[in-house]
Amino acid sequence: MAGSVHKGRSAGAGRPDGVGPAGAAQPVPGTAARPSPWLSLPWVAILFITGAFHLYRGVPVDAAIFLAAGVALAVDTSVRHSRITRHGRHTPHGRQHPAGEPAVRLLPRWFWPAVAAAVGALSLAVVVLAPENSTGIPAVVGLVGAAMLLVAWPDPPRTPGAAPGNPAAPGHPAPRVRRAACWWGAVVLLLCVWEMGTYFIDRFAPADTAVFPPLTDLLQPLFDGDSSRWFMTGLWLVACGALVRVGRRP
């Protein structure tokens, strides 16, 4: 009896993965794969290049938005990487729970969906009912975009199978997330090339010549009527909510 217990303890203690005699995996600090900060460098560079391009265009407001987003992403990347370097793994504040204890829910489950529905209804009313050239529409769109950025700000992907509420080693995104990232990246790249081509063609084309239509001119007919504005605004809000839900799904 004593020999079998000693044998089981020796077998569990000598394994590098921290698996004991009961087969329960114990986390080993410092052994988690550390994501490189260089993975965020393209996103930061794109935001800064876009901001510089808007300065070149003479649109300082748009430039300030993109440059501020670039600074925020750069600071977030630096702080996140410094935490991982110090502690050996990513441990978000407020998610550390003792083993066996469930996470304490401070707000009811319906609270954030209700807030999102209220903000969406208010935004829909402002976008649809406000005059076309008023400042209310861009203000609401900008505020909703900033709020969505805070809600959907991505955490490093967790290792599949990690227990909810417990920090886990950073892993790879799910295949559906990688596929969605590739498709959306291709769409955004196509739209950016279109808009940049339109700008340079209009800028350097001789006077009184046909110009290449920008996306705003092509999409404007979809927002001329009240019914189409209702439909497109609702579709936009539903799509934003769907993207956030898919991105936050474990």
The number of domains in the chain is 1
Query: Please, which pLDDT band fits residue 226 given cuts at 50, 70 and 90?
Result: confident
Mean pLDDT of 84-105: 54
The mean per-residue pLDDT over the stretch 203-209 comes to: 73
| Distance (Å, whole) CA 87 – CA 8 | 31
Q: pLDDT > 90: what percent of the chain?
A: 2
- How many of the other CB atoms lie within 10 Å of CB of 90? 20
Q: Are 170 and 162 in contact (CB under 8 A)?
A: no
Q: Is 161 left (phi over 0), alpha (psi -120 to 50) or beta?
A: left
What value does the mean pLDDT take over residues 97-111? 64
Would residue 153 count as lying in a domain? no
In a domain, 246, yes or no: no
> What is the reported pLDDT for 156?
52
Beta carbons of 157 and 171 less than 8 angstroms apart: yes
Most confident of 35-39, 51-55, 60-64, 148-152: 51-55
In DSSP terms, 158 is beta-bridged to 170
Q: Is pLDDT of 165 > 60?
A: no
Where is pLDDT greater, at 19 or 227? 227
Give me the domain span that covers residue 76. Answer: 33-91
Residue 159 lies in a domain: no
* Inside any domain, residue 179: no
Q: Is residue 238 part of a domain?
A: no
In a domain, 52, yes or no: yes
Any domain includes 197: no
The chain-wide mean pLDDT, for the chain, equals: 71
Inside any domain, residue 28: no
CA distance 128 to 18: 59
The per-residue pLDDT for range 11-33, each reduced to its tens digit, is: 444 444 444 444 444 444 444 44
Q: Is residue 248 scored above 50 in pLDDT?
A: yes
The mean pLDDT of 97-102, rounded to a whole number, is 52
